[in-house]
A and B are shown apart, each in its own frame.
Chain A
Amino acid sequence: QSVLTQPPSVSAAPGQKVTISCSGTNSNIGSYYVSWYQQLPGTAPKLLIYDNNKRPSGIPDRFSGSKSGTSATLGITGLQTGDEADYYCGAWDSSLSGLWVFGGGTKLTVL
């Protein structure tokens, strides 16, 4: 059971927009920055968004992040077949003595 809650799957057609939600609590998302990762099959996670809405160099602006209260959202516009992957959110959590936590992942299918 992951600390952050994501929908198991989402789908959309090429060219469309999709959003992926990440729900947490005041001890994680409500108090700390959120990051998002893309994991293509058989590869390591790749950072897409950090500090809620910042994109690392090289990440296209089709990817966006936002946060409100104890939830965060990853948005992807202009969907491409190459976007089919698992997406994970992450944040620090102040529970116990502090730990880095992740969501369970969301499988994006581009129909």
Chain B
Amino acid sequence: QVQLQESGPGLVKPSQTLSLTCTVSGGSISSGGHYWSWIRQHPGKGLEWIGYIYNSVTTYYNPSLKSRFTISVDTSKNQFSLKLSSVTAADTAVYYCARAYCSGGSCYSGYWGQGTLVTVSS
């Protein structure tokens, strides 16, 4: 059974860079066909897709978000990561990592991490 677990700081100061890591267990992050994704949820709001990485090197980000996000993979640790630069209070949210399938007109995720709350505050 694939499991995902986010880790990272719960509190980040404005203008700093947020770094989150998602550790994958029960399956290899190098196996094909999966879109390793980050999704966030602002307090009391809906889901917002940030982006994904697939084939370990190809990334794609939500074009409606400003390009402050970077997703990368560390296959040796079976982890993928999210970096968000120049954070503001508007980036306060629960951040989820997920294993998605996005191909052939379909995009969905059956495997999610538990989520990690990130608060941006001085």
Chain A residues with CB under 8 Å of chain B are 2, 31-33, 35, 37, 43-47, 50-51, 56, 88, 90-92, 96-105
Contacts and interface: CB of A to CB of B under 8 A. Distances in A.
Given A33-B105, A100-B107, A45 B49 contact: no
Contact of A90 (B64, B105, B108, B115): B108
Contact of B46 (A96, A97, A102): A102
Given A45-B112, A90-B108, 16 more contacts: A33-B105, A35-B107, A35-B109, A44-B96, A44-B112, A44-B113, A90-B47, A92-B102, A92-B105, A92-B106, A92-B107, A96-B63, A99-B63, A100-B37, A102-B48, A104-B45
B55 interface: no
B96 A50 contact: no
A1 to B, nearest CB: 10
B25 interface: no
Interface of B: 37, 45-49, 60, 62-64, 96, 100, 102, 105-110, 112-115
A31 B114 CA distance: 31
A64 to B, nearest CB: 16
A88 B64 CA distance: 20
Contacts of B106: 32-33, 35, 50-51, 92
Nearest to B49: A100
Contacts of A105: 46-47
Nearest to A104: B46
A96 B105 contact: no
A31 B105 contact: yes
Given A32-B105, A92-B102, A100-B102, A47 B49 contact: no
Given A35-B108, A44-B113, A96-B64, A101 B49 contact: yes
